[in-house]
Structure 1
Amino acid sequence: MNTINSSNFLLPNIADKLCSYQKERVSLMINDFIEINKQMDSYHFEYCPKCGAYHPVLVKAGKTKAGKQMLKCNACNKRFVCDHGQLTFYSHQSQAKWNDLIIQTQNGNSILKTAAKINVNEFTAFRMRHKYLHFIEVMEYPIQAYERD
């Protein structure tokens, strides 16, 4: 992923007042917004996650506080976020933090190391890792529908 230098977007008098951590945060936020826009251009729903309509007609319906694109189904008039059903659904963490967590988990690093690397609380890193491992389990072993006799 290309990282954008936030100083290109900040006015010089504002950039001088920010510390390096704040400049880095601005840069990560800009990269996340660009990544969300790229995903939105190529994201496709075969079924509406709310009503189950096949090939729903979806229109843009605003953005969340976190900047995620909201969509509205014309069949049921309900809104949902474009990452509904994905790993980052209902998460306040950036895509970059999720990517780092996945790498740290696959390398077998501890929760404490992972939390320090992605700059979150240990309990947040634990919940994120739990969600990631559960997501992998569901993808690898989908629940089989049973037949009633």
Structure 2
Amino acid sequence: MLMNTSSDFLVPSIDEKLCAYQKNRISQMIRDYLEINQQMDHFHFEYCPKCGQHHPVLVKAGKTKAGKQMLKCNSCKKRFVCDHGQLTYYSHQPQSKWNDLIIETQNGNSLLHTAAKIDVHESTAFRMRHKYLHFIEDMECLICTTS
């Protein structure tokens, strides 16, 4: 597991405005997202995302152009990507670019700098950042409703 402090992820001007609890919570969420990205090859599905069968029998079914593992459910015969329902779902970018984008976003770097660093077009970096921030917001709402 990554052992980073909140100052590794936050811009100094934002870091000084947050309390310790908020800094720790943000850092923990970022570490969790990065860990999820690293564990995608070993992801276990409780239910098939296509047909909903409990404990589906899944077999490997090739890889996408971005290098993501495709799986096929033996009951419905439909294929899907192993990151179904995750931040990187429906993305043509590899997980390493998502990891870099998360770190660049939390460091407060501009879209132009982020796009150059992860080697994508500025509009792609914008959409990736927008999806990441929306994903964080959804996770916050989910956590608040379950608490």
TM-score bracket, normalised by the shorter chain, equals: 0.5 to 0.7
Establish whether residue 110 from structure 1 lines up as the match of residue 95 from structure 2.
no
> Which structure ranks higher in relative contact order (CA pairs < 8 Å, sequence separation ≥ 6)?
2
CA contact (8 A) 2:40 2:83 kept: no
- Number of equivalences: 108
Task: Report which of the two has the higher share of helix.
Answer: 2
Larger radius of gyration: 1
The separation in 1 between residues aligned to 2:38 and 2:98, in whole angstroms, is 17
CA contact (8 A) 2:63 2:70 kept: yes
Q: Per-residue displacement from partner, 1:2-21 (whole Å, max 9, x unpaired)?
A: xxxxxxxxxxxxxxxxxxxx
Where has structure 1 moved over 4 Å in runs of 4 or more? none
- SS of the equivalent of 1:116 reads helix
Shift of 1:66: 2.9
Gaps of at least 5 residues in structure 1 are 1-35, 145-149
The separation in 1 between residues aligned to 2:88 and 2:69, in whole angstroms, is 13
Structure 1 residues 38 and 132: alpha-carbon distance in aligned structure 2, compared to 1, 3 A threshold:
closer
The separation in 2 between residues aligned to 1:37 and 1:129, in whole angstroms, is 19
Gaps of at least 5 residues in structure 2 are 1-36
* Paired AA for residue 74 in structure 2: N
The separation in 1 between residues aligned to 2:69 and 2:114, in whole angstroms, is 28
- Percent identity at matched positions? 77
Match of 1:82 in 2: 82
Establish whether residue 100 from structure 1 lines up as the match of residue 119 from structure 2.
no
* Paired AA for residue 133 in structure 1: L
Structure 1 residues 115 and 63: alpha-carbon distance in aligned structure 2, compared to 1, 3 A threshold:
closer
The separation in 2 between residues aligned to 1:79 and 1:71, in whole angstroms, is 5
Match of 1:125 in 2: 125
Structure 1 residues 65 and 120: alpha-carbon distance in aligned structure 2, compared to 1, 3 A threshold:
closer
The separation in 2 between residues aligned to 1:71 and 1:50, in whole angstroms, is 11
Match of 1:14 in 2: none
Structure 1 residues 123 and 37: alpha-carbon distance in aligned structure 2, compared to 1, 3 A threshold:
closer
